[in-house]
């Protein structure tokens, strides 16, 4: 297994980062939070276990994030939607726990959301069900409670 070097943050003009289906482990380097042009981030099928830098996604125009099939744990990151341009968020098959953050109900550009196969619990925010562009959500294999919000009836785009 190998690690992503901390110096990767020096690549300030990086637009797409893909290192999926490898044996990388450890943490996502803090330098990713300084990449202001990053639009796609994909590290699925690795062994990353430590959560993201606090500023990851806040200032970049991220369009897609795929962190599926890793070993991330702890609370689900509250800030991945950043400047609200995120269309695709795939975080399935990790070890996230606690409640899914209400902040994602404000991610109006979100089209696909898959957070299945984690250990998330509590109620799913009503606003998530009413996101205007969402066409696919997968909350399966978690520990959610409270039922599905009646707001789902007002989703004009949800089809899966």
Q: What is the pLDDT of residue 89?
A: 96
Domain ranges of the chain: 6-154
Q: What DSSP line would sit under the chain, residue for residue? A: -B---GGGGG-TT--EEE--SS-BEEE--GGGGG-TT--EEE--SSEEEEPPPTTTTTSS---EEE--SS--EEEPPS-TTTTTT--EEE--SSEEEEEPPGGGGG-TT--EEE--SSEEEEPPPHHHHT-TT--EEE--SSEE-S---GGGGG-SS---
Q: What is the pLDDT of residue 12?
A: 84
Q: What is the pLDDT of residue 151?
A: 66
pLDDT along the chain (160 residues), means of 10: 82 92 90 87 92 74 94 89 86 96 91 97 88 91 85 61
The pTM of the whole model exceeds 0.75: yes
- Rounded CA gap, 34 and 27, in Å? 16
Q: What is the pLDDT of residue 34?
A: 83
Q: What is the CATH number of domain 6-154?
A: 3.80.10.10
Q: What is the pLDDT of residue 140?
A: 95
């Amino acid at each position: 297994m190998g690690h992503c070097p901390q110096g990767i943050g020096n690549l300030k003009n990086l637009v797409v980062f893909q290192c999926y289906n490898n044996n990388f482990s450890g943490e996502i380097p803090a330098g990713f939070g300084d990449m202001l042009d990053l639009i796609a981030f994909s590290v699925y099928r690795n062994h990353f276990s430590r959560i993201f830098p606090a500023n990851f996604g806040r200032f970049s125009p991220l369009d897609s994030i795929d962190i599926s099939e890793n070993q991330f744990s702890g609370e689900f990151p509250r800030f991945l939607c950043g400047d609200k341009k995120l269309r695709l968020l795939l975080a399935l098959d990790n070890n996230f726990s606690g409640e899914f953050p209400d902040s994602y109900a404000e991610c109006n550009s979100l089209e696909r959301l898959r957070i299945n196969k984690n250990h998330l619990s509590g109620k799913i925010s009503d606003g998530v069900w009413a996101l205007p562009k969402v066409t696919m959500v997968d909350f399966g294999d978690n520990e959610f409670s409270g039922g599905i919000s009646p707001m789902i009836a007002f989703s004009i785009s949800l089809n899966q």
